[in-house]
Amino acid sequence: MTAIAEAVERAEVGFLRDAVPGAVLDAYEFRGDTRIVVAREQIVEVLTALRDSEEFQYNFFSECFGADYLDVDTGGTILGKPHRFEVTYNLLSLHDPATGTGKNTRIFIKVGAPEDDPVVPTVVSVYRGAEFPEREIYDMFGVRFSGHPDLRRILMSDDWVGHPQRKDYPLGGEKVEFPGGKLGPSVEDRVVQHAGESFSGKTASDI
């Protein structure tokens, strides 16, 4: 990933610097795609600006997804990420030849969320379609979305304990050997066990 020089950067970066002052923290390009890291407090304003701008018309909410950058060995983050969690919003300026709207471009907006305060403002008010993906991120990573109308688990059962896509959440019940003689985490290593599995017989309310 290379940080892009001012001369070649996408117009969206400059636009956001003007439209939402202080929001753009970083921008980088990789294989032709631009990813802009913005301050999480200002994500609603950033997405509203991109959606309503005449120049870009990001009218289609493609999706949003989470990622966990925890380095399991050190407890820090990998790749020099400032925060453990990251939510990426994938926006498309969908070109409709019938009405002439949309520029047929795609942009990725990212926000970071620290481990001790994994809260991101919801963007459901900007794009209704964020409802399910945000619920999935909450379910899988435990990142909460403040102001979300219906923030429940979506794929795991309601009484499940823990967030399965976190890097410190074990894949299975037994230690698995990985290259380099490293052992993967196992269920027994966990302080809190899964309520949904029968080995402990506990439910979410017991723990």
User: From CA 189, how far away is CA 174, in angstroms rounded?
Assistant: 10
Binding status of residue 183 toward another protein by CB under 8 A: no
Query: Count residues contacting another protein (CB under 8 A)?
Result: 45
Written as six digits, the tokens of 173 are: 């019940």
Nearest residue to 57 (alpha-carbon basis) of 90, 98, 91: 91
**Beta bridge partner(s), residue 111:** 87
* In the complex, minimum distance from the CB of residue 18 to another protein, in angstroms, rounded to a whole number: 25
Binding status of residue 4 toward another protein by CB under 8 A: no
- Binding-site member from 25, 48, 108, 185 for another protein (CB under 8 A): 108
User: From CA 21, how far away is CA 17, in angstroms rounded?
Assistant: 5
Binding status of residue 199 toward another protein by CB under 8 A: no
* In the complex, minimum distance from the CB of residue 14 to another protein, in angstroms, rounded to a whole number: 22
- Write out the binding residues for another protein, residues 138-167 only, by CB under 8 A: 140, 153-157, 164-165
* Beta carbons of 9 and 36 less than 8 angstroms apart: no
Written as six digits, the tokens of 108 are: 């990725």
* In the complex, minimum distance from the CB of residue 1 to another protein, in angstroms, rounded to a whole number: 5
Residue closer to another protein (CB basis): 127 or 145: 127
Binding status of residue 26 toward another protein by CB under 8 A: no
Binding status of residue 127 toward another protein by CB under 8 A: yes
Binding status of residue 70 toward another protein by CB under 8 A: no
**String of contacts with another protein for each residue 32-61, x by CB under 8 A:** -x-x-----------------------xxx
Give me the phi and psi of 44, to 5 degrees please.
-65, -45
Beta strands in 44-140 (DSSP E): 60-68, 85-93, 105-113, 119-121
Query: Cβ atoms within 10 A of the Cβ of 147, count?
Result: 13
User: What three-state secondary structure class fits 132?
Assistant: helix
* Beta carbons of 34 and 107 less than 8 angstroms apart: yes
Written as six digits, the tokens of 11 are: 């117009």
Residue closer to another protein (CB basis): 45 or 139: 139
> Which residues contact another protein by CB under 8 A?
1, 30-31, 33, 35, 59-63, 65, 67-69, 78-79, 88, 90, 94-98, 104, 106, 108, 127-129, 131-133, 136, 140, 153-157, 164-165, 171, 176, 179, 184
